[in-house]
């Protein structure tokens, strides 16, 4: 869905916007750099600030007094909104429980329009001994103008419950927009291939990809004031956006720049090419869509629907050619045999009443469905 009145971004490609470089990471304090801008640069801002919970960064001290952190949060959010964000832009902020309420109120004060308060439920959280383990973060999603913003629904669609649970042919082939609680994305653990070694807290690229696909278009500028290991910028580059970041630590800037150099955009090749970015996008869709390969095989209409979702994602990143269902099926089979597909998790108990048992798969309330 493209709302009316949207201005095209991307005109700043390769340019330098008053000290914040486009398609680069600028080392320094985001507030000062943002306050130096005299025109907005960003179609989408994603910010994952330090949460003020005592994390060990190399130069930033992550344990401030409440008033100091609160005032600083308002300052950087104001600088993002008033100096960097275009009139048609969207802003997302990740934050922990400790300051989620404050961030929500600051967003209100700045005149932003809240579209979703997403809960990212992650797996592989830390164990606790005396209370329930924390396994979520808050993702606030605002727009400046509720009548003019980008929301690319097709680029984020997944199977509906009707498709996933009952394989019902009458369900919309286009699937559905995901719910506002996201349970498909694990934290980036130390053992994951994706993990960089130079930064202590790295967001998964799959989460950022969903946000960027939904809230920006090819050629738009995606800005991250707290670039860290460069996750937002890597996802933006992969998806054919222009990108810009600021980061306090010179060491993190060096590491993130190295990471960015390795990133190949999805549109560097057409389809069917099955380059690493195309394969990765397929793995992510598989994890998010929530239907196992055996069911895709048994129900060709589900495979067709899955193929549409995959092609929409690639089109959103500037790939003009399309994959066919057979291409997609063959690659999924290869990945399955190589154990490179995520386990599909059933995240809620099955209803005790409802359609006949023969229509239900799996039959009983279950935590994990594995092949
Ligand atoms: C939570 S981490 C961001 C992680 C990032 N989302 C990723 O996936 O790698 C926060 C980052 O903000 C940086 N930082 C702290 N204060 C800053 C400031 N005033 N300006 C720019 N960066 C800052 C820290 O050095 C740290 O790398």
Sorted by where each begins, the domain ranges of the chain are 16-263, 276-359
Beta-bridge mates of residue 3: none
Report the pLDDT value the prediction gives residue 100, as an integer from 0 to 100.
98
List the residue whose alpha carbon is closest to atom 19 of ligand 1: 29
At 350, phi and psi to the nearest 5? -70, 150
List the residue whose alpha carbon is closest to atom 26 of ligand 1: 228
List the residue whose alpha carbon is closest to atom 5 of ligand 1: 228
Q: From ligand 1's centre to the CA of 253, what distance in Å?
A: 10
Report the pLDDT value the prediction gives residue 344, as an integer from 0 to 100.
83
Q: Is it the case that residue 149 has pLDDT exceeding 90?
A: yes
Q: 184, 287 in Cβ contact below 8 A?
A: yes
Interval 311-316 mean pLDDT: 98
Burial 200-210 (b: 16+ CB within 10 A, else e): ebbbbbbbbbb
Tens digits of residue pLDDT in 329-355: 999 999 999 999 998 876 556 555 555
Helix or strand (DSSP H, E) at 141 = strand 136-143
List the residue whose alpha carbon is closest to atom 4 of ligand 1: 228
Q: Is it the case that residue 197 has pLDDT exceeding 70?
A: yes
Report the pLDDT value the prediction gives residue 127, as an integer from 0 to 100.
84
Q: From ligand 1's centre to the CA of 117, what distance in Å?
A: 22
Mean of all residue pLDDT scores within the chain: 89
Report the pLDDT value the prediction gives residue 363, as an integer from 0 to 100.
36
pLDDT top residue among 259 and 3: 259
Pocket test for ligand 1, best of 27, 226, 244 (most atoms within 8 A of CB): 226
Helix or strand (DSSP H, E) at 26 = strand 24-27
pTM: 0.90
SS3 state of residue 9: coil
Pocket test for ligand 1, best of 26, 228, 236 (most atoms within 8 A of CB): 228
Q: From ligand 1's centre to the CA of 76, what distance in Å?
A: 12
Report the pLDDT value the prediction gives residue 352, as an integer from 0 to 100.
57
Report the pLDDT value the prediction gives residue 166, as an integer from 0 to 100.
87
Tens digits of residue pLDDT in 211-227: 999 999 999 999 999 99
List the residue whose alpha carbon is closest to atom 3 of ligand 1: 228
Tens digits of residue pLDDT in 64-95: 999 999 999 999 999 999 999 999 999 999 99
Reported confidence tier of residue 13, pLDDT bands at 50, 70, 90: very low
Quote the tokens at residue 329: 């099926």
Write the burial class of residue 170 (CB in 10 Å: 0-12 exposed, 13-18 middle, 19+ buried). exposed
Q: Is it the case that residue 175 has pLDDT exceeding 50?
A: yes
Pocket of ligand 1 from Cβ distances under 6 Å:
29-31, 48-50, 57, 60, 199, 201-203, 225-226, 228-229, 231, 246-249, 252
Q: Is it the case that residue 180 has pLDDT exceeding 80?
A: yes
Interval 214-243 mean pLDDT: 98
Just give the CATH number of 16-263: 3.40.50.150
Q: From ligand 1's centre to the CA of 67, what distance in Å?
A: 20
Tens digits of residue pLDDT in 247-295: 999 999 999 999 999 999 999 999 999 999 999 999 999 999 989 999 9
Q: From ligand 1's centre to the CA of 34, what distance in Å?
A: 15
- Rounded to whole angstroms, the Cα distance separating 175 from 307 reads 11
CA dist list (Å): 352 to 160, 347, 355:
19, 15, 10
Of 175, 169, 171, 369, which Cα lies nearest the Cα of 289?
175
Report the pLDDT value the prediction gives residue 312, as an integer from 0 to 100.
98
Quote the tokens at residue 116: 């979703």
């Amino acid at each position: 869905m493209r709302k009316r009145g949207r201005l095209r971004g991307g005109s700043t490609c390769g340019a330098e916007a008053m000290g914040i470089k486009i398609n680069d990471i600028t080392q320094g304090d985001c507030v000062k750099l943002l306050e130096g801008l005299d025109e907005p640069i960003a179609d989408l801002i994603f910010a994952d600030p330090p949460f003020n919970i005592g994390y060990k960064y190399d130069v930033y001290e992550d344990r401030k007094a409440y008033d100091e952190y609160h005032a600083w949060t308002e300052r950087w959010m104001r600088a993002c909104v008033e100096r960097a964000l275009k009139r048609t832009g969207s802003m997302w902020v990740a934050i922990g429980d400790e300051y989620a309420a404050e961030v929500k109120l600051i967003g209100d004060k700045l005149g932003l329009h809240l579209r979703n308060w997403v809960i990212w439920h992650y797996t592989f959280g830390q164990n606790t001994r005396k209370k329930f383990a924390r396994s979520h973060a808050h993702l606030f999603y605002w727009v400046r103008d509720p009548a003019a913003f980008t929301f690319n629904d097709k680029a984020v669609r997944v199977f509906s419950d009707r498709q996933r649970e009952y394989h019902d042919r009458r369900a919309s082939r286009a699937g559905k927009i995901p719910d506002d609680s996201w349970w498909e994305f694990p934290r980036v653990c130390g053992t994951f291939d994706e993990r960089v070694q130079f930064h202590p807290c790295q967001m998964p690229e799959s989460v950022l990809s969903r946000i960027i696909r939904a809230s920006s278009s090819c050629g738009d500028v995606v800005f991250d004031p707290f670039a860290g290991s460069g996750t937002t910028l890597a996802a933006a580059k992969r998806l054919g956006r222009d990108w810009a970041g600021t980061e306090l630590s010179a060491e993190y800037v060096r590491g993130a720049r190295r990471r960015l150099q390795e990133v190949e955009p999805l549109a560097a090749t057409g389809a069917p090419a099955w380059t690493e970015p195309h394969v990765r996008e397929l793995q992510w869709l598989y994890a998010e869509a929530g239907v196992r390969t055996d069911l895709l095989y048994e129900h060709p209409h589900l495979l067709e629907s899955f193929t549409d979702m995959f092609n929409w994602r690639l089109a959103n990143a500037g790939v003009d050619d399309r994959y066919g269902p057979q291409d997609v099926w063959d690659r999924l089979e290869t990945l399955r045999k190589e154990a490179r597909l995520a386990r599909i998790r059933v995240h809620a108990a099955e209803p005790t009443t409802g359609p006949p048992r023969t229509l239900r798969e799996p039959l009983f309330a279950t935590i994990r469905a594995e092949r």
